[in-house]
């Protein structure tokens, strides 16, 4: 069973958007998938409530109430969405549940500063420090050819966590979210540019680089 945690202490950086699309991706690839929502606002679970019945099923789990208890034993992929402000003990607690961590970061001066601090903190969490969990950064809501993206790109490239993908700002994410779908479930003529941007993240997740040794 693989546990992928999507986290960043900063609010609004795309945690739920990325967590839901990841869950939809693995489910549509035929894997038994659970989506665990640690945010008491339950955005990921309300996304799931919109999901049409004829799409690959995902088991929703209210992690904010009862942790991973509701995850079926047969689940192959467990995607964990976390609330804004996750740091300190709560962060360590969530990291304990995952082998792989995805950290979305927005191209804004405040978010870039916050990401630098968050990565420092993440690297100090025992499990990450001991390489028992592997993390990666993803730039999100990127507008290419902007100075602020260049800055984000430069900062993320020199942090001590691999920077594996960048996703553009696109209505597709909003459309997919409203319909309970992942970005990979939108029609190709709309979403192919986004799929291309997801490929390096999927590749990283499929590789040993995103998993602890042993
Ligand atoms: N790549 C994108 N392009 C356009 N809009 C996006 C993209 N990623 C996220 N959004 C939008 O940004 C807003 C915040 O995204 P989301 O809710 O996923 O962030 P979050 O990190 O889960 O927030 P919170 O910290 O409140 O849980 C949402 O309105 C979402 O639709
Ligand atoms: Mg959220």
The whole-angstrom separation of Cα 160 and Cα 33 is 30
- Residue 87 CA to ligand 2 centre (angstroms): 15
Write down the domain spans for the chain.
2-204
**Distance between the two ends of the chain, CA-based, in angstroms?**
14
* pLDDT tens across the length of the chain (214 residues): 999 999 999 999 999 999 999 999 999 999 999 999 999 999 999 999 999 999 999 999 999 999 999 999 999 999 999 999 999 999 999 999 999 999 999 999 999 999 999 999 999 999 999 999 999 999 999 999 999 999 999 999 999 999 999 999 999 999 999 999 999 999 999 999 999 999 999 999 999 999 998 7
CATH class of 2-204: alpha beta
User: Which protein residues touch ligand 1 with a CB less than 6 Å away?
Assistant: 11-17, 39, 43, 83-84, 140-141, 167, 169-170, 173-174, 177
Q: What pLDDT score was predicted for residue 132? A: 96
Other CB atoms within 10 A of residue 116 CB: 15
Q: What pLDDT score was predicted for residue 213? A: 87
- Residue 98 CA to ligand 2 centre (angstroms): 18
The whole-angstrom separation of Cα 212 and Cα 214 is 7
Please give the distance of CA 34 from its chain centroid, rounded to a whole number: 14
- CA–CA distances in Å: residue 51 to residues 45, 111, 115, 179, 190: 10, 30, 31, 6, 19
Helix runs in 96-170, H state only? 109-124, 126-129, 147-158
- Residue 214 CA to ligand 2 centre (angstroms): 32
pTM equals 0.98
Give me the DSSP letters along 12-78. Answer: TSSHHHHHHHHHHHHHHTT--EEEEE--TT-HHHHHHHT--TTSPP-EEE-HHHHTTTTS-TT-SEE
Q: What pLDDT score was predicted for residue 214? A: 74
Burial of 126 (0-12, 13-18, 19+ CB in 10 A): exposed
Is 160 within 8 Å of 33 (Cβ atoms)? no
Closest ligand 1 atom to 11 CA: 25
């Amino acid at each position: 069973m693989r546990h992928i945690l999507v986290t960043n202490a900063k609010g609004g950086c795309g945690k739920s958007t990325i967590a839901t699309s990841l869950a939809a991706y693995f489910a549509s690839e035929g894997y038994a998938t659970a989506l665990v929502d640690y945010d008491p606002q339950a955005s990921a679970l309300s996304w799931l409530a919109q999901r049409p019945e004829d799409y690959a099923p995902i088991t929703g789990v209210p992690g904010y109430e009862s942790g991973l208890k509701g995850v079926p034993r047969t689940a192959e992929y467990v995607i964990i969405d976390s609330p804004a402000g996750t740091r300190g003990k709560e962060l360590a607690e969530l990291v304990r549940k995952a082998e792989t961590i995805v950290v979305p970061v927005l191209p804004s001066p405040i978010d870039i500063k916050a990401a630098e601090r968050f990565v420092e903190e993440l690297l100090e969490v025992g499990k990450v420090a001991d390489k028992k969990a592997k993390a990666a950064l993803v730039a999100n809501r990127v507008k290419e050819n902007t100075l602020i993206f260049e800055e984000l790109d430069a900062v993320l490239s020199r942090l001590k966590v691999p920077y594996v993908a960048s996703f553009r700002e696109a209505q597709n994410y909003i459309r997919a979210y409203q319909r309970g779908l992942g970005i990979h479930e939108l029609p190709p003529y709309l979403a192919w540019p986004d799929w291309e941007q997801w490929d390096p993240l999927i590749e990283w997740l499929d590789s040993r680089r995103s998993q602890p040794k042993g």
